[in-house]
Structure 1
């Protein structure tokens, strides 16, 4: 039996489960790797590479995650299996400097919005009720998470899409949220880990989610583990929220098909690159956790 590889996912649950011993309590033979963390945050600063590209290359953890739109298409192409017994929801928003003239979503017409290959879906989805497609101006040039956050802080970006830790950091420093773009995240299975190990892993995360729900202030310190060290002195994670929340409900066929249809109608992937969109081929589920 191979060792189950766990990585943090820029959220609190894996860190809490590790600290509290929940993975061990579930009998999981595992290795915890800090694959996201690096001193300068390089993992989040690979220009022109988003979640889909990293999934294509192959991820090292047995279970990983990304925005559900990307996981849908990646799984439809056979790059991974969407694990359909759970999903999660990440707080996200479009932020501008405090002194910006931008006050409403409509004011973002034509304004370059710094996004990543992944957060752009939620940005489009949130702005559609306010702006025509041609007025939504997304820029990917500096789209990786920490870089676009840093450029916003340096006054070099008019607006940026931020989620989880950077979302709270921007709030702490007084940046204004113009619109909420909260989005769903799907889990995916890489390779062929044992189904029981996957269930052990998520049972541990379920216990961690309960702890975070009960006393989030005890665990927000873990955001520091995944931020580049150059930001640490300014961070007051005591003021930050619990971030991404794991929902232990199925990512259903209906959700999958609606999301896949939305991606297709918006032409985000070119013809022939989306796969056939068959839910039964793209997903796997092992029942209630």
Structure 2
């Protein structure tokens, strides 16, 4: 059990993480006997990524549980000792999409040597790399750091890059800005727990999360306004992207996805992903899955 008896849960205000907020605010965690404190960063304070690249969440931020891209969870837990992976999943039926500004790029096979804007150390570069490898040679993949989704859209609009990766609601915004969707791939997430997180607390977290998933999937319209909160946050920090856009029509086009509950981490499956990263020099060769996934020993 955590030393304070309260589980400090880091929240990413992304559309695929809606059930976590719902479970916290509607008391679903509490009904499972879990005292949860939601830890968030304001959108206005974030100029690169919500999860700091140079600080540990379980140490510097005193967080007990945090979600992050599956591949970044492997890198972060090994290199920074920032907790251990306890669960994983796709979280929502909501893929990444690659958008382009160029008419001559008709499909993913045309992305060889084409700069594709991503946000480094969020995990999406690994997700994009794996997806692109199915269509173009590894040495012809050109991923370029362009920052937050709004920054990537600005870079695409301004011609700094010819393509970018996006999730909802920015994917639909990209369509309303006239960019073309040419590729989709799944968004895989990991859940990382600190040393003090007990098996009982993890089980209670997953049950509370599942209750929220059930409710949202049963009546998505009831959660639509909460779902659109990130779009409103983007409007406040990047109003230039919404100039000339029919915002009402944009919101109407955005659908609440079907959500899933994270599953307990599978060490064998995650080891496959770790070995893929090691083969590309993305994680140290001595990284050991037994020390990365909960239940192992360093």
Greater Cα offset, 165-174 or 188-197: 165-174
Q: TM-score, normalised to structure 2's length?
A: 0.78
Once the two structures are superposed, residues 99-154 of structure 1 have per-residue CA deviations (whole angstroms, 9 ceiling, x without a partner) of 633211122122110011221111111111221123211111x2333321333345
Once the two structures are superposed, residues 11-57 of structure 1 have per-residue CA deviations (whole angstroms, 9 ceiling, x without a partner) of 2112222343212222322222332x32x3x42x328x976545477
- Counterparts in 2 of 1:119 and 1:67: CA distance versus 1, 3 Å: same
Whether 1:160 and 2:161 are equivalent positions in the alignment is no
| Aligned match of 2:28 | 22
Distance in 2 separating the partners of 1:182 and 1:223: 19
- Counterparts in 2 of 1:59 and 1:208: CA distance versus 1, 3 Å: same
Distance in 1 separating the partners of 2:200 and 2:8: 14
Cα RMSD (Å) of the superposition?
2.9
Once the two structures are superposed, residues 246-268 of structure 1 have per-residue CA deviations (whole angstroms, 9 ceiling, x without a partner) of 44433312211110111111222
- Counterparts in 2 of 1:119 and 1:243: CA distance versus 1, 3 Å: farther
Q: TM-score, normalised to structure 1's length?
A: 0.80
With CA pairs under 8 Å and 6+ residues apart, which has the higher RCO, 1 or 2? Answer: 1
Could you tell me which of 134, 140, 143 is aligned with 1:138?
A: 143
Native 8 Å contact 1:105 1:127 kept in 2:
yes
Distance in 2 separating the partners of 1:225 and 1:274: 41
Distance in 1 separating the partners of 2:208 and 2:29: 5
Distance in 2 separating the partners of 1:159 and 1:50: 24
| Aligned match of 1:148 | 152
Native 8 Å contact 1:93 1:177 kept in 2:
yes
- Counterparts in 2 of 1:96 and 1:50: CA distance versus 1, 3 Å: farther
**What's the offset of the Cα at 1:170?**
2.6
> Counterpart of 2:86 in 1: which secondary structure?
strand
Q: Structure 1: give runs of 5+ residues left out of the alignment.
A: none
What are the residue-to-residue correspondences of 1:245-264 with 2, within 5 Å?
245-264=259-278
Distance in 2 separating the partners of 1:136 and 1:183: 19
Could you tell me which of 72, 81, 85 is aligned with 1:82?
A: 85
Native 8 Å contact 1:51 1:70 kept in 2:
no
| Aligned match of 1:93 | 97
